[in-house]
């Protein structure tokens, strides 16, 4: 294990400093993480080899729940190609939505985005839940446009049949995936065809004002600010979201978008 450094983890708007001793103990552990802060510190630490090993041991337990999914997302963030088989095994073990996310992650850590797009087109569950894994990738694949095309076709085909909560959750996931890709330097046209972009903007403007899930609403507002910052309907949707959610960071984001500041901002770190 290389020389570790303390890690600061933001949680609910507050920084939490994780000491080297606590970080080392978590990296060497085999059981469930002692806290989500420590799990995030593992993902952010300056020893990716030890971090990947810890995350692989964690998903190997097959425990259902948030900690396992965070470990899956961490492996995607760390480009842990060696974990592709572990993720497939986890997908088969968990099944359902969590299994679909883990299966998508197994494609992503192996940089097989085109294959993921085909798999998502063939399976509705993968189509709906693969954005949750994709938004954690560290770089934009040249095949990202094919994956976004599948998600937009899923939106066209399934939105009349989804409940409003499921629809808004899916929109939030796709929005954050697109927003993160734009932050990492992707061109809008490389991600979204013109018709898909128009459909997404119209749907977001219709759904954002009534969305009560903060995480989904934040992502929807972020993407609208990046796609159509000067449009009055977009501005109105962002203003209504700003009035609904009083989170200080989100308020600042909305002010920046409405004021015409450069958007999206550079990714943290």
Q: Domains in the chain: how many in total?
A: 2
For residue range 79-109, list pLDDT tens digits in order: 999 999 999 999 999 999 999 999 999 999 9
Question: Does 89 lie in the same domain as 30?
Answer: yes
Considering only CA atoms, which of 144, 141, 143, 96 is closest in space to residue 123?
96
Residue 252: inside a domain: yes
Mean pLDDT value across the chain: 95
Of 60, 93, 111, which residue sits at a domain end?
A: 111
Confidence of residue 168 (pLDDT cuts 50, 70, 90): very high
Question: Does 264 lie in the same domain as 199?
Answer: yes
Q: What was the pLDDT predicted at 105?
A: 98
Element (H, E) at 239: helix 232-244
Q: What was the pLDDT predicted at 135?
A: 93
Question: Does 70 lie in the same domain as 6?
Answer: yes
pLDDT of 31 > 60? The answer is yes
Q: What was the pLDDT predicted at 107?
A: 98
pLDDT of 128 > 80? The answer is yes
Q: What was the pLDDT predicted at 269?
A: 58
Question: Does 148 lie in the same domain as 106?
Answer: no
Question: Does 180 lie in the same domain as 89?
Answer: no
Distance separating alpha carbons of residues 197 and 191, to the nearest angstrom? 9
Residue 117: inside a domain: no
Residue 205: inside a domain: yes
For residue range 146-156, list pLDDT tens digits in order: 999 999 999 99
Q: DSSP of 167-186, one letter per residue?
A: HHHHHHHHHHHHHHHHHTT-
Dihedral pair phi/psi, residue 16, rounded to 5°: -125, 120
In DSSP terms, 14 is beta-bridged to 11
pTM, two decimals, is 0.93
Question: Does 92 lie in the same domain as 162?
Answer: no
Distance separating alpha carbons of residues 250 and 237, to the nearest angstrom? 14
Question: Does 5 lie in the same domain as 49?
Answer: yes
Confidence of residue 158 (pLDDT cuts 50, 70, 90): confident
pLDDT of 1 > 60? The answer is no
Distance separating alpha carbons of residues 59 and 182, to the nearest angstrom? 30
Considering only CA atoms, which of 115, 138, 139 is closest in space to residue 130?
115
Residue 68: inside a domain: yes
Q: Report helix angle 144-158 to 194-207, nearest 10.
A: 50
Q: What was the pLDDT predicted at 160?
A: 85
Q: What was the pLDDT predicted at 72?
A: 98
- Given a contact cutoff of 8 angstroms between Cβ atoms, the answer to whether 144 and 189 are in contact is no
Q: Which domain holds residue 152?
A: 141-269
Question: Does 106 lie in the same domain as 147?
Answer: no
Residue 135: inside a domain: no
Q: Which residue is listed with tokens 């606590």?
A: 22
Question: Does 146 lie in the same domain as 256?
Answer: yes
For residue range 193-245, list pLDDT tens digits in order: 999 999 999 999 999 999 999 999 999 999 999 999 899 999 999 999 999 99
Confidence of residue 266 (pLDDT cuts 50, 70, 90): confident
Q: What was the pLDDT predicted at 26?
A: 97
Q: Which residue is listed with tokens 């939106």?
A: 155
Residue 127: inside a domain: no
Question: Does 147 lie in the same domain as 106?
Answer: no
Dihedral pair phi/psi, residue 35, rounded to 5°: -160, 160
Q: Provide the sign of the torsion angle of the four alpha carbons 48, 49, 54, 55, taken in this order.
A: positive
Considering only CA atoms, which of 184, 152, 187 is closest in space to residue 170?
152
Higher pLDDT: 162 or 117? It is 117
- Given a contact cutoff of 8 angstroms between Cβ atoms, the answer to whether 59 and 87 are in contact is yes
Of 111, 130, 156, which residue sits at a domain end?
A: 111
Q: What's the average model confidence in pLDDT over 250-267?
A: 94
Residue 218: inside a domain: yes
pLDDT of 2 > 80? The answer is no
Question: Does 145 lie in the same domain as 107?
Answer: no
Q: What was the pLDDT predicted at 62?
A: 96
Question: Does 157 lie in the same domain as 236?
Answer: yes
Considering only CA atoms, which of 135, 131, 134 is closest in space to residue 155?
131
For residue range 7-24, list pLDDT tens digits in order: 999 887 789 999 999 999
Residue 130: inside a domain: no
């Amino acid at each position: 294990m290389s020389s570790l450094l303390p890690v600061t983890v933001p949680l609910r708007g507050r920084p939490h400093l994780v000491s080297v001793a606590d970080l080392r103990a978590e990296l060497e552990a085999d059981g469930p993480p002692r806290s989500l802060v420590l799990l995030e510190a593992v993902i952010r630490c300056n020893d990716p080899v030890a971090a990947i090993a810890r995350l692989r041991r964690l998903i190997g337990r097959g425990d259902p729940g948030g900690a396992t999914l965070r470990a899956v997302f961490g492996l995607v963030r760390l480009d842990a190609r060696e974990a592709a088989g572990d993720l497939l095994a986890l997908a088969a073990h968990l099944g359902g939505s969590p299994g679909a996310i883990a299966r998508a992650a197994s494609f992503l850590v192996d940089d097989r985005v085109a294959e993921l797009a085909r798999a998502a087109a063939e399976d509705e569950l993968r189509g709906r839940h693969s954005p949750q894994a994709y938004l954690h990738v560290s770089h934009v694949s040249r095949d990202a446009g094919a994956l976004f095309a599948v998600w937009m076709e899923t939106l066209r085909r399934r939105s009349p049949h989804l409940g409003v909560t499921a629809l808004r959750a899916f929109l939030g996931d796709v929005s954050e995936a697109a927003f993160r890709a734009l932050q990492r330097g992707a061109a809008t046209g490389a991600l979204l065809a013109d018709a898909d972009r128009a459909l997404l903007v119209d749907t977001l403007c219709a759904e954002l004002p009534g969305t009560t899930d903060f995480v989904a609403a934040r992502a929807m507002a972020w993407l609208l600010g990046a796609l159509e910052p000067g449009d009055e309907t977009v501005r109105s949707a962002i203003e209504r979201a700003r009035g609904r959610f009083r989170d200080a960071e989100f308020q600042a984001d909305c002010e920046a978008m409405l004021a015409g500041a450069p958007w999206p901002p550079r990714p943290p770190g």
